[in-house]
Amino acid sequence: MLAHQHIVRRLTSAEILGQLLPACRLLLLFFVTVPALADIRADILHNAQQLGQWPQGTQIDVKLLGNPPDPSDCPHAWTMQLQGNERWQGRLNIHLICPDNPHTRWLSVLINVHAPVVIVRQTVRHGDSIVASALTQESRDITWTQAYFTDPAKVIGAVARRDLLIGSMIIPSDLSPPLLVRRGEQVLLRADHAGITVTDVGTALNDASRGEAVRVRHSRSGHVVEGIAVDQDIVALPL
């Protein structure tokens, strides 16, 4: 029986090049794509930081949900525009416009935002006025939140519309305007007419914020009159 013969054939230069080209193409694609990915993400991050009007201490992270454009598509920087009136947060479609040619691209991105916001540190019950000691600031994910508070001063004095539990982030719908008049407290009754101001005192029969109606029992006559809360413990009477 004849032994198996092993035939060794030398590959030609063309055959060797043909086997190497696919690997070279993959390597070339990697080195083109990664810098493009980093550059476009950096540009989006810069725009989000500059145009987002974020408070100090905000952290932003950008994730590309689609393929970035090839650098050869635009030798210079892309101009970026948001679709509609979107903000620089959440999932966005960004219109990429090249100043060198009419070629444009749409790119889907996810911009995650963490910012210092007003947090409840002590439980606030429904109907209570919020005091400074009940508040603190903490960095929270606001990616999908459109309304929040970053300054505790804008929350102090407001009235809770529901129970606010420890650790919860305060949003505008949680609050009613600060009370200027409280039931059972003495208020100043004021009537203005033709440059003349007449004042008297009475007792408020209901709570009221600015612009709300207040029923007041006149201190001397005992009659109940109705006016409008215009300032702290001041009720304007119509003439």
Note whether 167 and 185 are same-domain residues.
no
How does pLDDT run across 111-158, given as a tens digit for each residue?
999 999 999 999 999 989 999 999 999 999 999 998 999 999 999 999
Tally the domains of the chain.
Answer: 3
Beta bridge partners of 50: none
Q: Is the pLDDT of residue 20 over 70?
A: no
Which of 216 and 17 is assigned the larger pLDDT?
Answer: 216
CA distances from 207 to 157, 165, 187, 199 (A): 14, 24, 11, 20
**What is the average pLDDT score of the chain?**
82
Question: How many CB atoms lie under 10 A from the CB of residue 215?
Answer: 16
**Secondary structure element (H or E) that encloses residue 18, with its range:** helix 13-51
Side-chain-facing half-sphere of 115: CA atoms under 13 Å: 24
8 Å CB contact between 162 and 130: no
Note whether 171 and 213 are same-domain residues.
no
**67: pLDDT confidence band, cut at 50, 70 and 90?**
confident
What is the C-alpha separation between 32 and 125, in angstroms, rounded? 58
* DSSP 8-state secondary structure symbol assigned to residue 3: P
Note whether 26 and 71 are same-domain residues.
yes
Query: C-alpha 198: how far from its chain's center?
Result: 47
Q: For tokens 């991050």, what's the residue? A: 45
189 within a domain of the structure (yes/no): yes
Q: What pLDDT, on a 0 to 100 scale, did the predictor assign at position 2?
A: 41
Note whether 212 and 152 are same-domain residues.
no
8 Å CB contact between 90 and 144: yes
Over range 16-35, report the average pLDDT.
39
8 Å CB contact between 80 and 47: yes
**18: pLDDT confidence band, cut at 50, 70 and 90?**
low
Note whether 105 and 63 are same-domain residues.
yes
Note whether 101 and 160 are same-domain residues.
no
Residue that finishes a domain, picked among 154, 176, 198: 176
* E strands, 51-103, in order: 59-64, 79-82, 90-97
Structural domain range at position 138:
114-176
How does pLDDT run across 177-210, given as a tens digit for each residue?
988 999 999 999 999 888 889 999 999 999 999 9
Q: What pLDDT, on a 0 to 100 scale, did the predictor assign at position 15?
A: 53
